[in-house]
Amino acid sequence: MTVINTNGAALRAMAATQRANTDLAQSMARLSSGQRINSAKDDAAGLAISSSMTAQIRGMTQGIRNAMDGVSLVQTADGALTEVSNMLQRVRELAVQAGSGTYSMSDRAALQLEVTAVSTQIDQTLFNASFNGVALFNNNPPVYDSNNQLVDASVKLNVQAGPNISDTIPISVPPIPTAYVRNIDGYWYNDYQARLTQPQTLNSLDTTKSHLVTFDDYMAKGKIAGDDITRDDIGRIVYQRVGDQWYDRNGSTYSAGYSYDEFIQRRQFSLTDELNVTNRYRTDNTLKRVDELLGTVASVQGQLGATANRLQSAVSTLTSGTTNLSEARSRIADTDYSEESVKLARAQILAQASTAMLAQANQSQKDVLKLLGQ
């Protein structure tokens, strides 16, 4: 059948041309962008999967940065503790030196100058240690709840080391108290009074009898010759005088008592109060406190080291996960240039061939004119 209104050959050639041009445009888009999926119509399911993978990859990448920040925080805290440990070792060395009986009071006073300077620096180091504005240590006195249980005063924070809500690593820095609260057995009554010996009078005085003034004597508000014992008196050896009163757990008399504020203030001792080598009694106490602090610092450093190892392990795991997931996403979303270049060449040939056939199909209609005698 010979017709001119409908040129089937031309229509088929035109459809082939359109398909070839579509394939050509898609191949060129993929090759120019490097992405196999440039719009949802390219691969709707693949786009959804690759988008979910992208969220995971970006979350893991940020998690790696967070974990490394956590490592830096831990290292900052560990560095501060290393210096504190060095200073404590120096105080201990001075205390051992002061414990020798070959030193005079003036020698001990000279040693105390360095002890005070170093203990002040220890306090400041712990107080000022911070990372990006986050305080690293709690050096306040221990706090107990109503059941006399020690309240956890650790500095705590969570590191978001991964893309999911549950991917957190806790960092806990136990407190290193540089302030102390002293109580003595049988001392803390509801009226804040303590048992003391009977005051020395002329009738009971024995001037040959000596007494070592202790922390308990100070805490109980004892007296030397009728005057309140001060912190400077702790560790002194005194001989009996009228008005003396010492702490006595089984004593039958009471001190005049405290106001609440006076009681709270009197029972708190700073690090510089505790670390004192001016006499043997205070030197022994200093050695005890320094050994306690060295043990605490070593324990905290051990915990920080374990946390740093966990953070480093998380970084390694996240790095591996990011690499593997990126490769999986690449297989879905990235252009395979070998495959796509072949498709481009095919589409170019088909586009040229279909265009040529369209021209031939259009030319074939001219044969109708021969039938009309033209």
| Res 310 pLDDT > 50 | yes
Spatial neighbors of 305 by CB under 8 A, at least 6 apart, are: 78
pLDDT bucket at 256, cuts 50 / 70 / 90: low
pLDDT tens, 314-370? 999 999 999 999 888 888 887 777 777 887 788 788 778 877 877 777 777 677 667
Q: What percent of the chain is predicted at pLDDT more than 70?
A: 90
SS3 303: helix
- pLDDT computed for residue 210 by the predictor: 94
Residue scoring higher pLDDT (293 or 341) = 293
Tokens of 298: 């070593």
| Res 190 pLDDT > 50 | no
| Res 259 pLDDT > 80 | no
pLDDT tens, 209-245? 999 999 989 988 889 999 999 999 999 999 999 999 9
| Res 301 pLDDT > 90 | yes
| Res 2 pLDDT > 70 | no
Please state the pTM of the whole predicted model: 0.78
- pLDDT computed for residue 189 by the predictor: 44
pLDDT tens, 148-159? 677 778 889 999
- pLDDT computed for residue 78 by the predictor: 95
343 with 23: CB under 8 angstroms? yes
Which residues on neighbouring strands pair with residue 150, listed in sequence order? 144
pLDDT tens, 113-167? 999 999 999 999 999 999 998 899 987 767 766 776 777 788 899 999 989 899 9
- pLDDT computed for residue 46 by the predictor: 82
Helices 105-128 and 44-98 cross at an angle (nearest 10°) of: 170
2 with 368: CB under 8 angstroms? yes
- pLDDT computed for residue 221 by the predictor: 86
Say how far apart CA 136 and CA 304 lie, in whole Å.
11
